[in-house]
Amino acid sequence: MFDLISNSIYASILLSIAIAIIGSLIVINKTTAITGSIAHGSFGGIGIALYLGANVLLTTSIFAVFLAIILAFITLKFSHRQDSLIGVIWAIGMSIGIIFLNLAPGYQADALSYLFGNILLVEDKDLLFMGIIDLIILISIIFLYHRFLAMSYDREFLTLRGINANLLYTYFLILTSLTIVMSVRAIGIILILALFTIPSLIAERFTKRFFTMMILSGILGLVFMVGGIIISFYYNISPTPTIVIIASIALFLSLFKRS
């Protein structure tokens, strides 16, 4: 059995590292809507890649990073209307994706798999891509941990310390977009939000330091994914929704903990 699901277990480990770090930052920076916008909007990149016959991960990465930069600009310059504009970007990206899929020759059955993903079908080259993104995120958090924490607490103060808080915020959204792309094959763009936020939401309730929040959310993410993989493998159901339901039950139970 392990041979059949080994790649999905490796994917879970690699994904849990990125999700632990980026998911925790998403929760404390309240950028869930922005993350949803990049995730759904990046369908545009998938459509373009399938139309051109180009490398999907690479094309989608470029597209998602582009969206992250636009969203950073919007949230920094038009903060009073950011929620509407975040929704607009969300829809524009998906529309681009669908139009390019219509134009692409033949029936693109592959496209649907990007919407919901399938962690049981992750290939070696996907693992390599995940590994590279993990490395970028790990190096970033080692050097930028204190800055990210200060940014999450009080961006104005960070600026006063001579650090470009807007640039740091944009970089954080770029890392978010890369984490989305690395999760697309395994989790799919529709349900990414749940997996990015639930482990961190639970972890936050049990920790008083950001570092331990990241570690705990990584462990939780890994448990949810492996649990989901095993259940979906035995019952022959889709892994992503299974993972999301397990995580949601855990979140529900964690709400009983007194804060």
What residue ranges bind other proteins (CB under 8 A)? 28, 143-144, 146-147, 149-150, 152-154, 156-163, 204, 207-210, 212-213
Please give the Cα distance from 225 to 219 (Å, whole number).
10
> Is there a contact between 217 and 199 (Cβ–Cβ < 8 Å)?
yes
Cβ pair 150, 30 in contact under 8 A: no
Contact 63, 45 (CB under 8 A): yes
Nearer to other proteins, 160 or 249 (CB): 160
Residue (158 or 189) nearer to other proteins, CB = 158
CB atoms within 10 A of CB 140: 18
- Minimum CB separation of residue 144 from other proteins in Å reads 7
Closest separation in Å from C-beta 203 to other proteins: 8
**By C-beta, is 182 or 201 nearer to other proteins?**
201
Residue of 177, 229, 220 lying closest to 197 (CA atoms)? 220
Q: Can you tell me which residue has the tokens 């373009």?
A: 48
Q: What are phi and psi of 66, to 5 degrees?
A: -60, -45
CB-neighbour burial class of residue 99 (10 A; exposed 0-12, middle 13-18, buried 19+): middle
Smallest separation (angstroms) from other proteins to the CB of 28: 6
Q: How far is the CB of 23 from other proteins (least distance, A)?
A: 13
Please give the structure tokens belonging to residue 228: 């989901």
Q: Which is nearer to other proteins, 111 or 203 (CB)?
A: 203
In whole angstroms, how close is the CB of 200 to other proteins at the nearest point?
10
Nearer to other proteins, 102 or 212 (CB): 212
Please report how close the Cβ of residue 249 comes to other proteins at its closest, in angstroms: 23
CB-based contact 100:44 (threshold 8 Å): yes
CA–CA separation, 117 vs 184, rounded Å?
Answer: 6
Nearer to other proteins, 138 or 160 (CB): 160
CA distance 154 to 24: 17
Please say which residue, 16 or 217, places its beta carbon nearer to other proteins: 217
Rounded to a whole number of angstroms, the minimum distance from the CB of residue 66 to other proteins is 28
Instruction: Return d(Cα 119, Cα 58) in angstroms, integer.
Output: 19
